[in-house]
Structure 1
Amino acid sequence: MAADTRHPAAHDDLKEWREVVDRIDVLEVPVEDFLDKLVPTHRRYMPGPYERLPEFYPQISEPARSNSLVSFLSALVASFPSDKRVSILAQGGRALPAPFEILGSSHLTTPDIGVSLPGKKPKEPAERWQQLSMAITVEHSASCDPFDRDDLLCHAVAHPAACARNLMLAHGLLVSFVLGIYGRHCRILRFDHTCGLVSEAFDYTRRPDLLRRFFWNFVHPCLGDTVVGCDPTVHPLARADVIWAETQLAAMKTTKAVLNPQESRRVNVYDDKDDSTRTFILLQPLSAERRLFSRATTVWFAIEDLRGRASCTPTNAVLPKLVIVKEAWREIETRSEAFIYHMLPDADEAERFGLPKLVCGEDLGEREVALWETGSWPFPKQERDFDGDDTFSRQPLSDRSANTLHTPSSPSPNRSAPETKADTETSSRGSRYPLPFPQHQTFSWRLTGELEYAYRERSQMRLVIDVVGRPLTDFRTTKQLVRAIRDVVRGHMNAWKMGILHRDISEGNVLLVDEELASCFPFSAFLHDFDYSWFASQLQDNGSTSTCPATSGDKTPNLDDRVLLGQTGTPPFMAIEIHKQRTFRNLGLALRHDVHHDLESVYWLLVWMVMRHTRYLHIWGPDAQRTLFGCVDHTFYASMKAIWLDMPPIAVWENAPLTRLLGRFTDAVRANNSGVPDSKGPRNSVHLTHAGVLKILDEALDSGDWPETDPALCREEREAWRAHSVALVHPGEKRPHDGRGDEELHEGVLDLAGDLKRRKT
């Protein structure tokens, strides 16, 4: 099989897979304990007929080895009930594409053996990740076990991790499992969005009962109706769901959303307005995060399932509205985005300008933990079939006697232990319910007792947003782009007035209002994704400094200060001061993320868009975008951005208003960074304000000489322009010939090129 598909590190981001290696924890506990804690079941295990198991010979070559293993595993599960029996599928080296089309066809992963969903028997080999519930990676010898060595091999760990990621995307799993077969040894790999937990190796040919028990537990989950790790609030679409959704979309006459039955699903969303649960059909994903250990943000087009609602009857049919559903896993030390949205009041239209509105949604992990602690489990109990006490041990897996360690009975790492008898009884109620810990919030680090990494735990959010947008890169004219930037600045100002600082202005967090809905909203673009937002009530939009002497050892900053002192944002769009936080700390200063940092991010966003999607000229040449935004760390970013501000501003062909705007905005950002950090903090800086930035943008928009048709350039157009700009700024260099001569270029380009050459000399 091809190496580039067997080991995704060969073509995926190596940095991502190195992070995966750093978050793998091999648990030195008996495999039985691993199964009890991490693969819990509601059905008593029934031993199988091991005397009829076929022989497995790991030393033979492929494909005979995989076929032999498939026969062995199939015999293990042959006596399972038909609705719980999985099919073991020899993939024969077949590479499976990413679960969603938007992720492209270049990211292929090849599971050695696939495991079907319970009760399903797809044709062999499987063609999509949606047909599998688990993957098995196979090596010929125990010496190939990557977890039986001090230094984990990136490529060897990347393959099962990539399989786990694809399974989670395909089914909306909260946890996914991969089996690692290394000769006659087996390991159970459990992945969530914060780390991977690996069992001890065991000889499955001598102890097939352990492997069979794993499969038994796997297909008999305590919650959900498929496998352990499935989300009980997520369901595949039935045929009736598909027909209904397609009928509604046809009646809505929308051209933006198309139902993709292979990727679509049905989800439940809690609505705290009336303490009810609403059902939405996710039509197709708009974006999805590929990284496994991340926020795993996925954004969907969706419509609400109105069937069964009192307001929707055959004689009074109500068409659903197209909405956006966002699913993400936040770090538990950051505030929930749902909480931020709930802080945005139902203000009038002017106060909500440039901001989306939350239809419904919640932090599922936060709510589930609260209900779990009080014993009010949010899901119906399933039938249990245990003998005697069915409570789970609540001690960490890594140390059964470490009573002082943080255990799942106190989910938050900042939560103090119960002090009263009543509190203690309430906190222990969760053990009477199907799982030893909630599912929508990870507990991996706390279960293993590694509390120093508890901040890495994540909690799942599911939010429904009223505004349907499209990427900022879809602008039709550069004037529309600038108008969108202006509306986003106004939205940022409105959020700040409500006490919220965004802290992550970036290309992906600014959306244009969908053209089909443009008449429904007074703004052309809006700011979204408040994952990193925090409270701005103590900040001032008056140009005051955002640095102060570092906190002394006898004074601990409050939570808001600690968060605002953190380095947050998307590197290409970060303010220079945020890049230089380490420098400030070395000088004994504490730099707090402030309003002017976000406004500087707006400038870098505009420069990014101009470089990637317009015909621009700069003395750095056609590779200016790569030079400015292709830095490897924060130190280089800070240096390159500071040098950029001292260079002549960028010019845009046949677009005087945008060129003037970039020049004025560059001057303002240069003044924003004019102070030199020393022991007294930055000096002589004139910080950006909302009023100042809006004045620059509004005056540019009032110009009457904007081009009427200059949409975002496609890739081919950018490459063609790049070839011409090389000749204009560097006439001695050769360029590809595309059938056009310099005389065909507009004379305005030649004027700009001559001006740039004069500046360069």
Structure 2
Amino acid sequence: MRNLTIPPTPIAFPPPLPIPVPDTPTHNRLPPTQPFSSLNGYYLESAFVDAAKELKGKFVAVKPQVFLDKYLPEHPGMPLVTYESFKKASVQRPESEMYGPLIDALKPFLKTGWSMINTSTKPDPDSGFFDGHKIKPDITVYSDRKPSNDNPCRACDMETFLELKVDVQSDGFHLDKSDPLNISFEKDGGDSRDTRGQLVTYLNAMQASQFRTHGFGVLILGNKCRLLRHTRSGIEVTTRFAYTSPKNSYLQTFFWRLSHARSALRGIDETFEAQPNVDFEIQHLLKVYGKPIWKVPVGDSSFYVSKPFTRSHHYPVGRGTRCFVAVDSRTLQKCVLKDVWRVVGYHREGEVYTRLHEHSVENIPNVLAEGDVQAGESGSCGVFDSDWTIPTDSTIRQHRHYRLVLGVVGEPITEFRSTWELTKCMLDAIKAHRDASLNAKVEHRDVSPGNILIVRSQDGIATGNLIDWELSKYCEEQGNRVYERTGTVQFMAARLFSRQPTARTFGDDLESFMLVFLWLAALYAPNKMDQDSRGEMLSVYDTPNQLMRENFILAGIVTPLRVQLHSTSFSKILMKLMQEYSARYAKSADQELPPDIIKKQAMLETHGWMIDSMREALKDEDWKAAKDGGQRQDFTLPVVEKTRKRKSAFTEYDQVFAARKNQRGENPAQVDNDSDGAGSDV
């Protein structure tokens, strides 16, 4: 008789391991910063450290003259540069003594009405987008627009900023005198890492609080300088130059051109048109009274929107998804508008929906409008010509600005009114996945709570909708794609964390449905689980550890039993599903599984058994009549480090996945940056 091993529920939770090499490259984003993370930042280090990690491999180098000519057009009448004033500013010590003289030296190169303010001690209270860090650049630059509030530092109004360091040793980047393709552009060392992270938090706060296609920044290092341009793909950084040298006037030219450039060239997304006078009916439909409303074009249509209800755009790079409740300007139909920087190389989400509807896939939204936004530089990012130096460790991806309008305004799956309704909506989403997989030949590849909507009819009947198909893949397509490993890390199948490249199957998405179901049961369904046990269980979701996740599935019925659900019927269906799923990771001592386990593993790659089990359970009329709606439960996390920061939790149904970056090993040889001449480096 074969020895079949099914380990018990894991008790100890080891620290997270680096995610191994996947079938596609990964982001550097850490699970605790995700909307469905239970850790909520518990493992997070300081904001600057985290920001530098997030942007690992996302920097490219370019010479300052090329940078200026590419992005900021010449403007006549620039004043002559008095270099003595800049030399005087550059030698002031301590650093705070540099601010005033540098501001005075740069003021002549700003358009009338523009201003520079010392904000080094005045953080913006509304700018805590990254790890809750409130930014306070040394010098903040504003245009002549009316201030949004009275704060000296206002990320929502910022045109650019200057971050000052007294020493070039704090530079976040290497010199570029050797072949840069053979080095990592990012300099090692704590100060250098923190400088990069600091710059990232500033640029991120600008793009998170404004409608922007890109943003600019300035790094001062004693008498040296770098210019920066941030997009959804990463950050372009100029080679270092001496702004005090008569050999060049790059810094002065930058401010002259920037302040005289039209708003689109400065990075403002002009397609969001502010509407100062909007009919009351539109305000009522948006449930926004006396607050900002914008008109946004999508294809040949236009829509009114207010602030986005999602937060995925709070991250420095990636798709930057913003979702808005919207109103069609012609029909006044209420809908959802999705503004995103899609990954070039993936299908447009509207195209995917067309294919799904052509194959009669049910339980998905209708598309009202879709299309790419701007043409030219402002509508795409991540493509560089030969004048740009892309390091060998680059993970830069190409993105394209895109919008999609869906004809439903649903509720998050966490808003279920009963566990019967939750099960029914989960079943609807699984049926949509089945039809997409088998009929339309489309793999979803990103099942999470954020991608399952509850859509209610006028009489209150709930239907589950499966949304967010932008990372999907057509079954006939072979090979890996250009973007990160697909999936929301908390709900990815355990086998996808293998140290070996692993081809995705339909069964992986079905495992994700199971993980979502169990997560909702533990965190939202009425249950008697104590806070410590709930926190311990939820922490598994935030751990990219294949063995731990396999053991979690292998525990079978033990896992839902630990939740101690109030509803016996709900508990029964969860136990049945988990009992079946425990076979997926069953192991045998002699490496040969019994035929019944092999048969069951094949069954788990199909939808039928899951759909039939849930349909049968939903026949329970007493369960259907129960009023056991969802409410977020309290939990206590396992203690990791007392010094680590915590971050508030949030959920959103438009979810951007992320995962830990692949462990790269030793860095390539790097250029020594200890010596620095008095002149320019270019």
Return the letter of the residue paired with 1:244. V
Return the letter of the residue paired with 2:612. K
1:448 is the counterpart of 2:388: yes
Match of 2:139 in 1: 113
Spell out the pairing of 1:376-525 with structure 2 (5 A cutoff).
439-444=379-384, 448=388, 450=390, 456-496=397-437, 497-513=439-455, 518-519=457-458, 524-525=463-464
Return the letter of the residue paired with 2:278. W
Structure 1 residue 145, shift from structure 2 partner: 2.5
Match of 1:644 in 2: 555
Structure 1 residue 463, shift from structure 2 partner: 1.0
Spell out the pairing of 1:288-327 with structure 2 (5 A cutoff).
288-289=311-312, 290-306=314-330, 320-327=332-339
Structure 1 residue 622, shift from structure 2 partner: 3.5
Structure 1 residue 44, shift from structure 2 partner: 3.8
Normalised by the length of structure 2, the TM-score is 0.74
1:18 is the counterpart of 2:53: yes
Q: Secondary structure at the match of 1:296?
A: coil
Q: 1:159 to 1:528 in 2, by over 3 A?
A: same
- For residues 158-188 of structure 1, give each alpha carbon's deviation from its aligned partner in whole angstroms, at most 9, with x where no partner exists: 1111111121222322221111122222210
Is 2:417–2:630's contact at 8 Å kept on the other side of the alignment?
Answer: yes
Spell out the pairing of 1:180-259 with structure 2 (5 A cutoff).
180-207=219-246, 209-221=249-261, 225-235=263-273, 237=274, 241-244=275-278, 246-250=280-284, 252=285, 255=287
Is 2:162–2:217's contact at 8 Å kept on the other side of the alignment?
Answer: yes
- For residues 591-634 of structure 1, give each alpha carbon's deviation from its aligned partner in whole angstroms, at most 9, with x where no partner exists: 5423222122111100111111234467993444235323244x
Aligned mates of 2:236, 2:581 — CA distance in 1:
47
1:176 is the counterpart of 2:215: yes
Structure 1 residue 328, shift from structure 2 partner: 1.9
Is 2:527–2:564's contact at 8 Å kept on the other side of the alignment?
Answer: yes
Aligned mates of 2:536, 2:528 — CA distance in 1:
9
CA RMSD across the alignment: 3.7
Q: 1:258 to 1:24 in 2, by over 3 A?
A: farther
Aligned mates of 1:333, 1:143 — CA distance in 2:
39
Match of 2:39 in 1: none
Q: 1:642 to 1:603 in 2, by over 3 A?
A: closer
1:664 is the counterpart of 2:576: yes
Aligned mates of 2:484, 2:311 — CA distance in 1:
26
Match of 1:47 in 2: 78
Aligned mates of 2:156, 2:463 — CA distance in 1:
37
Match of 1:432 in 2: none
Could you say which structure has the higher helix fraction? 1
Is 2:223–2:244's contact at 8 Å kept on the other side of the alignment?
Answer: yes
1:329 is the counterpart of 2:341: yes
Q: 1:20 to 1:531 in 2, by over 3 A?
A: same
- For residues 367-413 of structure 1, give each alpha carbon's deviation from its aligned partner in whole angstroms, at most 9, with x where no partner exists: x4xxx6xxxxxxxxxxxxxxxxxxxxxxxxxxxxxxxxxxxxxxxxx
Match of 1:526 in 2: 465
Structure 1 residue 360, shift from structure 2 partner: 0.7
Most deviating of 58-67 and 473-482: 58-67
Return the letter of the residue paired with 1:687. M
Q: 1:463 to 1:137 in 2, by over 3 A?
A: same
Return the letter of the residue paired with 1:473. T
Most deviating of 176-185 and 151-160: 151-160
Q: 1:438 to 1:166 in 2, by over 3 A?
A: closer
Return the letter of the residue paired with 1:466. G
Q: 1:343 to 1:451 in 2, by over 3 A?
A: farther
Q: 1:12 to 1:606 in 2, by over 3 A?
A: farther
Is 1:146–1:157's contact at 8 Å kept on the other side of the alignment?
Answer: yes
Aligned mates of 1:131, 1:564 — CA distance in 2:
35
1:266 is the counterpart of 2:266: no
Q: Secondary structure at the match of 2:295?
A: strand
Match of 1:695 in 2: 612
Aligned mates of 1:52, 1:456 — CA distance in 2:
39
- For residues 251-284 of structure 1, give each alpha carbon's deviation from its aligned partner in whole angstroms, at most 9, with x where no partner exists: x4x65x66742xx5432211xxxxx3x2223212
Is 1:353–1:491's contact at 8 Å kept on the other side of the alignment?
Answer: yes
Match of 1:355 in 2: 364
Return the letter of the residue paired with 1:166. A
Out of 318, 327, 339, the residue aligned to residue 351 of structure 2 is: 339
Is 2:397–2:482's contact at 8 Å kept on the other side of the alignment?
Answer: no
Aligned mates of 2:45, 2:493 — CA distance in 1:
33
Structure 1 residue 14, shift from structure 2 partner: 4.7
Match of 1:280 in 2: 303
Is 1:479–1:701's contact at 8 Å kept on the other side of the alignment?
Answer: yes
- The number of equivalent residue pairs is 568
Q: Secondary structure at the match of 1:181?
A: strand
Structure 1 residue 679, shift from structure 2 partner: 11
Is 1:301–1:323's contact at 8 Å kept on the other side of the alignment?
Answer: yes
Spell out the pairing of 1:120-135 with structure 2 (5 A cutoff).
126-135=152-161
Normalised by the length of structure 1, the TM-score is 0.67
Aligned mates of 2:361, 2:242 — CA distance in 1:
62
Aligned mates of 2:398, 2:619 — CA distance in 1:
49
Q: Secondary structure at the match of 1:562?
A: coil
Is 2:267–2:378's contact at 8 Å kept on the other side of the alignment?
Answer: no
Aligned mates of 1:188, 1:679 — CA distance in 2:
60
Q: 1:490 to 1:12 in 2, by over 3 A?
A: farther
Is 1:445–1:454's contact at 8 Å kept on the other side of the alignment?
Answer: no
Match of 1:69 in 2: 102
Out of 506, 531, 534, the residue aligned to residue 595 of structure 1 is: 506
Aligned mates of 2:149, 2:509 — CA distance in 1:
53
Aligned mates of 1:565, 1:303 — CA distance in 2:
33
Aligned mates of 1:564, 1:604 — CA distance in 2:
27
Structure 1 residue 343, shift from structure 2 partner: 2.0
Return the letter of the residue paired with 2:382. T
Is 2:124–2:136's contact at 8 Å kept on the other side of the alignment?
Answer: yes
Match of 2:478 in 1: 560
Q: 1:13 to 1:204 in 2, by over 3 A?
A: closer
Structure 2: which 5+ runs fail to align? 1-43, 176-186, 639-682
Q: Secondary structure at the match of 2:317?
A: coil
Structure 1: which 5+ runs fail to align? 1-8, 271-275, 307-317, 373-436, 539-558, 586-590, 724-761
Q: Max radius of gyration: which structure?
A: 1
Q: 1:90 to 1:462 in 2, by over 3 A?
A: same
Residue identity (%) = 19
Match of 1:157 in 2: 196
Aligned mates of 1:65, 1:177 — CA distance in 2:
21
Is 1:87–1:115's contact at 8 Å kept on the other side of the alignment?
Answer: yes
Q: 1:629 to 1:438 in 2, by over 3 A?
A: closer
Is 1:26–1:147's contact at 8 Å kept on the other side of the alignment?
Answer: no
Structure 1 residue 56, shift from structure 2 partner: 2.5
Structure 1 residue 658, shift from structure 2 partner: 0.7
Q: 1:345 to 1:330 in 2, by over 3 A?
A: same
Aligned mates of 2:356, 2:551 — CA distance in 1:
37
Q: Secondary structure at the match of 1:490?
A: helix
- For residues 67-112 of structure 1, give each alpha carbon's deviation from its aligned partner in whole angstroms, at most 9, with x where no partner exists: 33222222322xx3x4xx5211222422124569xx6993422222
Aligned mates of 1:678, 1:128 — CA distance in 2:
62
Aligned mates of 1:637, 1:450 — CA distance in 2:
37
Is 1:579–1:637's contact at 8 Å kept on the other side of the alignment?
Answer: no
Structure 1 residue 646, shift from structure 2 partner: 7.2
Aligned mates of 1:32, 1:488 — CA distance in 2:
53
Aligned mates of 1:245, 1:445 — CA distance in 2:
47
Return the letter of the residue paired with 1:40. L
